[in-house]
Amino acid sequence: MNKRFLIACILVSTSIFAQQKKDTDRAFWLRHLDQLARPVMRSLANDSLKIQLPKALSKRTDSPQTRLEVAYLEAFARTLCGIAPWLNLEGGSATEIALRNQYRTWSLKAISNAVNPQAKDYMTFEKGGQPLVDASFLALSFVRCPWLWEHLDPKTKEQVVEALLKTRKIKPVFSNWILFSGMIEAFFCQYGYQWDVVRVEYCLRQFDQWYVGDGVYSDGDSYHWDYYNSFVIHPYLNQILAIVSRKTKDFNWAIDKIAKRSERYALIQERLINSDGSYPITGRSIVYRGAAFQHLADVAWQHKLPAELSPAQVRCALTAVLKKTTESPSTFKDGWLTFGVYGNQGDLADVYNNTGSLYLCSVILLPLGLPESDPFWNNPAEKWTAQKVWTGEDTVHNDHALD
């Protein structure tokens, strides 16, 4: 009996351990990555994204034909820039390695089809203004994943550069859009092409003028309470400055300023996440779901979290956001994202939104670029600020503005 009991205990323990391993945060994130990215990347790799992508538009769309023309580049570039750090990673479990290898294969084929004029999925990079936005997300993908750039064939590299150069003809809106131009130049800088230092200088200097205090920038002349400090501003400023500072000391004046503001905004972002993973629904582009926390995900991935935030509490907070924004059964329809924050909520969409726009939510996945052994994934679960406060813990320090 004792032997049978011991064997039974071992079997139960093994089963529980296997279930725990299956249900780790990283496993959940990887399942979501696959659910989110598979329709986009597989379709484009098969040169059929223009057939497969739903042609859904905001009910208040301002230009149906134009928005549909750019939807494919939006879906592709936004998905790729979110999964790029993971594509650049090596190692992991056999299951994760196999999944990454599949996505690497799809990604290389997808890039080729997107920039090849002979492909059915060839994308527009110069018509109207929107291509500038999503060409920058494509450029950011290569910045975040050198593996992709290194494994492209010479002809495809040439076509990528030609596509990105076309966007220089587009005049950016006097807003966060100037950072899109700056990111494309940063890509050229990183990979040894001629780059326009004036475009970079312009966006860094202008955003220094648009800083309104306490880690937050206005998006143009007027401040708006939305998530564009996370959708674009902080991640782009940090990345552009990191690249060009390796080439020249001309931008050293910005390093400390941007770093301190970045840390402060990361603290603010963590405190915006409620104890159940919900967050304030305010401002435009709210249908980008988890992209509202790209900045927090970005600094976690790059090991630049402020000292007040532990990697584990940020992991748990972002996991809660990811679960909250995807748990509704109507988040996906036929495998594709729908408009909304919690399921299908079409009235939340803005005039420029289409199905492709929604895939910016992939950027919450940036920490998958860290190995499973990293403290972000490996440390025990911790409560984040809202959980600590709303369960009565007296362990949270009072908050102070960045003067």
pLDDT of residue 20: 38
pLDDT mean across residues, the chain? 94
Q: What is the pLDDT of residues 205-233, one digit of tens each?
A: 999 999 999 999 999 999 999 999 999 99
- The percent of residues above 70 in pLDDT, for the chain, comes to 95
Decide if pLDDT at 10 tops 70: no
Coil, helix or strand at residue 57: strand
What's the rounded Cα separation, in Å, for the pair 134 and 76? 9
Q: Bridge-partner residues for 354, per DSSP? A: 57
- The percent of residues above 90 in pLDDT, for the chain, comes to 93
pLDDT of residue 4: 53
DSSP-derived pairing of the beta strands 336-337 and 216-217: unpaired
Q: What is the pLDDT of residues 296-348, one digit of tens each?
A: 999 999 999 999 999 999 999 999 999 999 999 999 999 999 999 999 999 99
Distant-in-sequence, close-in-space partners of 348: CB < 8 Å, separation ≥ 6: 281, 286, 287, 339, 340, 341
Lowest mean pLDDT of 33-42, 120-129, 192-201, name the range: 120-129
Q: What is the pLDDT of residues 45-60, one digit of tens each?
A: 999 999 999 999 999 9
pLDDT range class, residue 403, cuts 50, 70, 90? confident
Decide if pLDDT at 187 tops 50: yes
The architecture (CATH level 2) of 24-390 comes to Alpha/alpha barrel (1.50)
pLDDT of residue 127: 86
Residue at 315: amino acid letter = R
pLDDT range class, residue 9, cuts 50, 70, 90? very low
pLDDT range class, residue 15, cuts 50, 70, 90? very low
Q: What is the pLDDT of residues 113-132, one digit of tens each?
A: 999 999 999 999 988 999 99
* DSSP letter assigned to residue 229: I
Which residue is associated with the tokens 């040169």?
A: 47
Burial 294-320 (b: 16+ CB within 10 A, else e): bbbbbbbbbeebeeebebbbbbbbbbb
